[in-house]
Chain A
């Protein structure tokens, strides 16, 4: 079957670094997406990885290991506005996104 696993909730301190992990099992693989969703709002695109390695985009970085079925999202210099849910989604062989349940990130001052 197809499955995406990520922690339900994480807490971190303002100014610190946090890593949100995601493991995936999908029928085929055409890339791994990370989306951010603030409470009561729509998901917005953060990153896309299809090759192994780290993609850096400002304070956010995303890593992929295809052989391990593993990805993480790294957030540096945390700000209060980073409090949100972070959704991991794997694209299967039919180019359909299989979504994780999301990780709620709580930032404390």
Chain B
């Protein structure tokens, strides 16, 4: 399997612009997670989906952030408008439904976002 695929790997944009991050989870995984990681705040869960349905979006910072999962093989995280404080590495992770190791998450390589 190719693992979790994220694009782009790097994104540099100006404040106020719209940013769309993309994720393809591992085939057959039931759960998809979006995280943000910064030096100051560590790894933060933004939102997660189960079978394409958003379950918990309490970690989404504000209305500027939105996420969709139109089908089992694709998800997007959109920031509109972007701000410098959104600069971080954004990870997508997917997880199978397992009894022995519940929610073992497989992370994608991340998207490094810089907002100037």
| Interchain residue pairs with CB less than 8 A apart (12) | A30-B102, A33-B104, A41-B109, A42-B109, A45-B106, A48-B101, A87-B43, A91-B103, A95-B103, A97-B103, A99-B45, A100-B42
Looking at the complex, which one of A44, A91, A96, A101 makes contact with B42 (CB distance below 8 Å)? A101
Q: How large is the interface on A (under 10, 10 to 19, 20 to 34, 35 or more residues)?
A: 10 to 19
Considering residues B44, B91, B101, which has the most beta carbons from chain A within 10 angstroms of its beta carbon? B101
Contact with B along A40-56 (1 / 0, CB 8 A): 01111100100000000
| B22 shortest CB reach to chain A, Å | 16
Looking at the complex, which one of B43, B56, B102, B110 makes contact with A99 (CB distance below 8 Å)? B43
Measuring CB to CB, which residues of chain B are less than 8 angstroms from any residue of chain A? Answer: 42-45, 48, 56, 91, 101-110
A94 to B102, CA, bound (A): 12
The 8 A-B pairs of least Cβ separation, nearest first, read A42-B107, A101-B42, A99-B43, A48-B101, A43-B107, A45-B104, A42-B109, A42-B110
| A28 shortest CB reach to chain B, Å | 13
